Amino acid sequence: MNRQYLLRRRPQGLVTRDDFEYREAPMPEPGPGEALVENLLLSFDPSQRIWISELPGYMPPVGLGEVMRSDGIGRVIASNDPKLPVGSLVQGLVGWQDYCVTKKGTPFGFFRMPDHLPFPPEVMLSALGMTGITAYFGMREIGAPKPGETVVVSAASGAVGSVAGQIAKIEGARVIGLAGSDDKCAWLTNELGFDVAINYRADDWKKQLRAACPKGIDVDFENAGGPIMHTVFSLLNLHARVALCGLISSYNSTGDRSGSMAELSAFIVKRIRLEGFLVLDYAKRFGEAAQQLGAWVAAGKLKHKETIVDGLEQAPDTLNRLFEGEKLGKLLLRVRS
């Protein structure tokens, strides 16, 4: 039996269990050139909320009646593909289900992971996975902080933000993180070495941000959008850079997503560079990023944290933890050990 969660309807706001249909399907069989994979770990990413909406994205939306799309890691348990022998670990879009088949034409395909992983599988989906690599290229290639510059990271306690902020510290910048609770802020400053962390739910967070940036802001690593982005924009310096990574504050919104763009006039006057980017743009350089991130982790310069939820049946509720609720670092769900 293959437990699956299928998309039943497009959610309005935060997802509910009724947005998904639970199904117990027969165990799938691999066809010629395919392998059967038992899913081990599922990645939870804000882009999943985009995939189940009608917002434009870099992939088509998940269709109604389709298994919910999710990156993850699994183990091959039967194989007609000599490149994916039984016992090997694979990464790809495995979906919210117990088992998947490595069907040809699945976007991005399924990659065989090294037999002897340098770090546990969960790290390969966090600091050394797509989110760590997103932080690496966004911060180094677009933010490009110089020693002594001021960097602000929003959604800083999350998978991308926590790595992005640490990379800016490694580059010698002064780093301010924005996060949604005092505990998350304490983790950023006490464990990860951020210079300042501000709880954006505090009444005076804008005042705190201005006080934390007496020389203005040189780099905005933007994960949030909305009021956070607009406030950060108002503090940007001459020749500042904005690495526009995500706009999570709008992913659940059902109303008008347009906001005041009045701050953009300052982009002209201050010659600010704003660049939206997708980690996939750097696909040819993933190896370089993984090697550097791995070296920093091994040297203790880059810390990582995974919040792991147990049980496939938790999948629908887990998605909302990206938007509210407690979690630190990368959010994962363990289907089985």
Ligand X SMILES: NC(=O)c1ccc[n+]([C@@H]2O[C@H](COP(=O)([O-])OP(=O)(O)OC[C@H]3O[C@@H](n4cnc5c(N)ncnc54)[C@H](OP(=O)(O)O)[C@@H]3O)[C@@H](O)[C@H]2O)c1
DSSP string, 267-280: HHHTT-EEEE--GG
Q: Is residue 35 at the binding interface for ligand X, with CB under 6 A as the rule?
A: no
H helical segments located in 191-285: 205-212, 226-233, 264-269
Residue type, 194: F
Q: Is residue 331 at the binding interface for ligand X, with CB under 6 A as the rule?
A: yes
Q: Identify the residue among 68, 76, 101, 160 touching ligand X (CB under 6 A).
A: 160
Tell me the chain's radius of gyration from C-alpha atoms.
20
Q: Identify the residue among 180, 272, 297, 306 touching ligand X (CB under 6 A).
A: 180
Q: Identify the residue among 62, 73, 192, 322 touching ligand X (CB under 6 A).
A: 322
Q: Which is nearer to ligand X, 104 or 207 (CB)?
A: 207
Minimum distance from CB of 252 to ligand X (Å)?
8
Minimum distance from CB of 181 to ligand X (Å)?
6
Look at residues 27, 143, 154 and name the one whose alpha carbon lies nearest to residue 78.
Answer: 27
Q: Is residue 161 at the binding interface for ligand X, with CB under 6 A as the rule?
A: yes
Q: Is residue 131 at the binding interface for ligand X, with CB under 6 A as the rule?
A: yes
Q: Give burial (CB, 10 Å; 0-12/13-18/19+) of 84.
A: buried
Taking contact as CB under 6 A, which single stretch among the options 30-38, 44-52, 145-153, 203-211 is the one that binds ligand X? 44-52
Minimum distance from CB of 113 to ligand X (Å)?
20
Q: Which is nearer to ligand X, 39 or 223 (CB)?
A: 223
Vertex 124 angle, CA 122 and 126, to 5°:
70
Binding residues for ligand X restricted to 215-274, rule: CB under 6 A: 223-224, 228, 245-249
Q: Which is nearer to ligand X, 95 or 129 (CB)?
A: 129
Q: Is residue 277 at the binding interface for ligand X, with CB under 6 A as the rule?
A: yes
Q: Identify the residue among 67, 159, 240, 312 touching ligand X (CB under 6 A).
A: 159
Q: Identify the residue among 179, 196, 209, 217 touching ligand X (CB under 6 A).
A: 179
Q: Give burial (CB, 10 Å; 0-12/13-18/19+) of 22.
A: middle
Tell me the CA distances in angstroms from 235 to 46, 81, 230, 296, one per residue in order. Answer: 27, 54, 9, 31
Taking contact as CB under 6 A, which single stretch among the options 62-70, 100-108, 158-166, 265-273 is the one that binds ligand X? 158-166
Give the phi and the psi of residue 145 in degrees, each rounded to 5: -70, 145
H helical segments located in the chain: 46-51, 121-124, 130-137, 159-170, 182-190, 205-212, 226-233, 264-269, 286-298, 315-320
What angle do the packed helices 205-212 and 226-233 form, to 10 degrees?
A: 40
Q: Is residue 125 at the binding interface for ligand X, with CB under 6 A as the rule?
A: no
Q: Which is nearer to ligand X, 310 or 324 (CB)?
A: 324
Minimum distance from CB of 292 to ligand X (Å)?
18
Q: Is residue 134 at the binding interface for ligand X, with CB under 6 A as the rule?
A: yes
**# of chain residues touching ligand X (CB under 6 A):** 31
Q: Is residue 209 at the binding interface for ligand X, with CB under 6 A as the rule?
A: no
Taking contact as CB under 6 A, which single stretch among the options 7-15, 173-181, 187-195, 293-301 is the one that binds ligand X? 173-181
Q: Which is nearer to ligand X, 184 or 241 (CB)?
A: 184
Determine the Cα–Cα distance for residues 149 and 220; give it in Å rounded to an integer.
Answer: 11
SS3 202: coil
Determine the Cα–Cα distance for residues 273 and 239; give it in Å rounded to an integer.
Answer: 7
Which residues face 37 on adjacent strands? 76, 100
Given the rule CB under 6 A, which residues bind ligand X?
Answer: 45-47, 131, 134, 154-155, 157-161, 179-181, 184, 223-224, 228, 245-249, 277-279, 322-323, 330-331
